[in-house]
């Protein structure tokens, strides 16, 4: 597995990393044994960068990672996130104060069984708190040795530039895939210009680019996709039909649909480090094959013809899911 750098001065990590949201049950039930099997497969595949968060299963994802790394120390670079919380009446809010972030980070470190994480993200911005003030808090965490680098999730290019003026940002993560292209309208370019890693999450479209696409009728309560507009009818049927020629193109090249979709992401820039999420060792092994899938300029042009920018039916988030993500176009 080839390496890519997390920011200008950050560590080298595998060019395909592992998103660990599903370790907390976001897409259905899971358990520690399944998580550990997936992490063991990651080691076999030389995938050495994990992405988690304190809210993934209310700490379950971090806890299961921690129990694995206790017996496998030094095998992974780990990123975690904080800032999402809920009020007593269960309303989701975003808190970027030093008190909240410090408490959340300490809890994450305890669950992960470490005193340091390689990358710490603000999961969502607190709109009424200047990002410069948030950066000062994060710089203190770095000076204290608790974090190796600073990151933000779902911010705008303008916010990134403001933050980076205070102290170098190591990484920004946003949803990016063949059916979510908004980062091309400024974020990928801003990251490249500033020497910041861009970390695409959901690079396989939350499963729509799996070899066998999911059936929304089987989504359990709590599955993030259940209220998602792209998985609701009639949008979902339109989307599956639109993707059929891409599936045929992948088959003609002798690769699976997810391999081709993930390879396309990798080809969008050397500063991109996608984090496909899975709780399946077999799926992770398939994802890793994208690292060796070479696409020619003709291949990339054909993919653009088959799935032009904006082909997807329905918004990428419901209105409730969209709250907190910065819009910039």
Task: Give the CA angle between residues 207, 212, 216 to the nearest 5°.
Answer: 60
Cβ–Cβ under 8 Å, residues 232 and 296: no
Q: Helix H segments across the chain? A: 32-44, 60-71, 98-112, 131-143, 157-166, 187-194, 235-253, 257-266, 281-288, 297-306, 319-322
Backbone phi, psi, residue 316, to 5°:
-75, -25
Contacts of 215 (CB under 8 A, 6+ apart): none
* Residues identified as active-site: 56
DSSP 114: -
Instruction: Please name every residue paired with 199 in a beta bridge, in sequence order, or none if there are none.
Output: 173
Task: Give the span between the Cα atoms of 64 and 66, in whole angstroms.
Answer: 5
Task: Give the span between the Cα atoms of 55 and 137, in whole angstroms.
Answer: 20
Backbone phi, psi, residue 277, to 5°:
-100, 135
Sheet-wide strand order for 171-175:
18-19, 49-51, 77-82, 119-122, 150-153, 171-175, 197-201
């Amino acid at each position: 597995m080839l390496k890519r750098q997390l920011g200008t001065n950050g560590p080298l990590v595998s060019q395909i990393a592992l998103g660990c949201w599903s370790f907390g049950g976001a897409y259905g039930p899971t358990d520690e044994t399944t998580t550990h099997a997936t992490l063991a497969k990651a080691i076999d595949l030389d995938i050495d960068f994990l992405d988690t968060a304190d809210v993934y299963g209310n700490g379950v994802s971090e806890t299961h990672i921690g129990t694995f790394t206790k017996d496998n120390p030094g095998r992974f670079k780990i990123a975690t996130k904080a800032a999402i919380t809920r009020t007593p009446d269960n309303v989701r809010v975003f808190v970027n104060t030093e008190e909240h972030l410090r408490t959340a980070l300490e809890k994450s470190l305890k669950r992960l069984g470490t005193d340091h994480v390689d990358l710490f993200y603000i999961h969502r911005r607190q709109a009424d708190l200047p990002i410069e003030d948030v950066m000062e808090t994060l710089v203190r965490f770095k000076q204290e040795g608790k974090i190796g680098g600073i990151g933000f999730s779902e911010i705008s290019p303008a916010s990134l530039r403001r933050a980076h003026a205070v102290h170098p940002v190591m990484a920004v993560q946003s949803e990016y895939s063949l059916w979510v292209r908004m980062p091309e309208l400024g974020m990928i370019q801003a990251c490249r210009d500033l020497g910041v890693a861009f970390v695409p999450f959901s690079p396989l479209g939350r499963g729509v680019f799996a070899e066998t696409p999911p059936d929304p009728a089987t989504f359990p309560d709590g599955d993030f996709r259940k209220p998602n507009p792209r998985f609701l009818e009639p949008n979902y049927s339109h989307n599956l039909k639109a993707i059929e020629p891409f599936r045929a193109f992948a088959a003609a090249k002798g690769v699976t649909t997810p391999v081709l979709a993930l390879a396309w992401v990798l080809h969008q820039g050397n500063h991109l480090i996608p984090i496909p999420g899975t709780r399946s060792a077999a799926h992770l092994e398939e994802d890793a094959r994208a690292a060796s899938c070479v696409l020619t300029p003709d291949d990339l042009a054909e993919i653009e013809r088959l799935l032009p920018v904006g082909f997807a039916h329905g918004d990428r988030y419901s209105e409730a899911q969209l709250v907190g993500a910065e819009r910039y176009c």
